[in-house]
């Protein structure tokens, strides 16, 4: 084996044997801390192409004693199917209007395609996963957000009992973001918000958003490694956090009421979850209360 040399911050030469020992001992303290802790992961729809390593990391974390719960989106696939099926998409202030026909497609894609595929992949990689949807067992109760947007729900409450039961039985629950409306209708809900509410109801230790952004960035595009909720609010006010990042960061801030730490990581980066959760430095942005 060739020995590569690296330097410590003090300039001392360290061999890769030392490096391995260092990495492992740093990771060990995080692994001990994560044992028995519930971690809610939100996988963005754009993530699904890069999911192999993400799912591998989640399975490892589970094997190490953490309790992962996955919530997924499916936006790009829903758009693809609406186009294939020639169903026109109407937008209102940038938000998709979900009529009855669109809702059928949303349900089919989320449950039948994205959810099943994630469960299958986890199983093939040796994980014990189970797929469910917010409407199963009345888990996610919702109301219509805005009549003009159609079947779009806002989360009212989340009953964590069924998920807790599944975690106790050693499962990795994989959840599609649909909710139960007041009269039993199915509603399409933003997956970031389902993940945030679920993390709160489960008393999760962490909520981790995986998408195709490197984290929260400064005006010059560099990533902010760690910030407080107050600092994140200030960056929104100052316009540094803008566009599509605002709803995501707002969901993070809402979640911080119930979850001590929220992380935003880029799921396209190799083993980003192990690096974020098991090193001091992390690999994304961590928001703390």
Binding site, annotated residues for substrate: 74-75, 96, 188
**CA trace torsion 236, 75, 149, 144 (10° rounding):** -90
Catalytic residue selected from 57, 134, 192, 284: 192
DSSP lists the bridge partners of residue 217 as: 223
For 229, how many CA atoms within 13 A lie in the half-sphere containing its CB?
A: 15
Q: Is 55 left (phi over 0), alpha (psi -120 to 50) or beta?
A: alpha
Structure letter (DSSP) for residue 118? H
Catalytic residue selected from 179, 200, 229, 248: 248
Task: Please report which helix (H) or strand (E) contains residue 206, including its range.
Answer: strand 206-211
Q: Tell me the CA distances in angstroms from 116 to 47, 120, 130, 148, one per residue in order.
A: 15, 6, 9, 31
Taking the complex as a whole, the smallest distance from the CB of residue 222 to ligand ARG amounts, in Å, to 13
> How far, rounded to the nearest angstrom, does the alpha carbon of residue 189 sit from its chain's CA centroid?
14
Applying CB under 6 A, among 225, 228, 231, 289 the residue interacting with ligand ARG is: 225
**Catalytic site residue 44?**
no
Taking the complex as a whole, the smallest distance from the CB of residue 52 to ligand ARG amounts, in Å, to 22
- The pattern of x and - marking residues 55 through 94 that bind ligand ARG according to CB under 6 A reads ----------------------------------------
Catalytic residue selected from 75, 137, 181, 282: 75
> Is residue 227 involved in binding ligand ARG (CB under 6 A)?
no
Taking the complex as a whole, the smallest distance from the CB of residue 109 to ligand ARG amounts, in Å, to 32
Active site residues: 42, 45, 75, 192, 248
Q: Which residues bind ligand ARG (CB under 6 A)?
A: 30, 225-226, 261, 276-277, 279-280, 282, 284-286
């Amino acid at each position: 084996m060739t020995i590569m040399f690296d330097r410590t911050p003090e300039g001392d030469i360290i061999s890769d044997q030392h490096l391995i020992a260092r990495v492992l001992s740093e990771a060990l303290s995080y692994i001990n801390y994560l044992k028995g802790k519930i971690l809610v992961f939100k996988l963005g729809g754009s993530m699904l192409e890069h999911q192999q390593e993400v799912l591998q990391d989640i399975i490892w974390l589970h094997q190490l004693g953490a309790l992962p719960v996955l919530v997924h989106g499916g936006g790009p696939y829903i758009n693809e199917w609406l186009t294939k099926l020639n169903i026109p998409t109407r937008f209102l202030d940038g938000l998709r209007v979900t009529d009855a026909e669109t809702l059928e497609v949303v349900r089919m894609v989320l449950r039948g395609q994205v959810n099943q595929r994630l469960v299958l992949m986890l199983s093939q990689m040796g994980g014990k996963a189970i797929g469910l949807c917010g409407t199963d067992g009345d888990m996610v109760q919702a109301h219509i957000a805005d009549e003009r947007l159609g079947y779009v729900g806002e989360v009212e409450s989340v009953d964590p009992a069924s998920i807790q039961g599944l975690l106790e039985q050693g499962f990795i629950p994989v959840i599609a973001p649909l909710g139960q409306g007041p009269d039993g209708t199915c509603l399409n809900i933003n997956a970031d918000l389902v993940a945030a509410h679920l993390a709160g109801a489960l008393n999760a230790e962490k909520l981790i958003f995986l998408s195709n952004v490197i984290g929260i960035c400064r005006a010059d595009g560099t990533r902010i490694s760690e910030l407080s909720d107050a600092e994140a609010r200030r960056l929104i006010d100052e316009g540094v956090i803008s566009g599509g990042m605002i709803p995501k960061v707002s969901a993070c801030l809402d979640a911080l009421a119930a979850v001590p730490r929220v992380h935003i990581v880029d799921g396209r980066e190799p083993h980003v979850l192990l690096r974020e959760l098991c090193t001091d430095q992390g690999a994304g942005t961590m928001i703390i209360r």
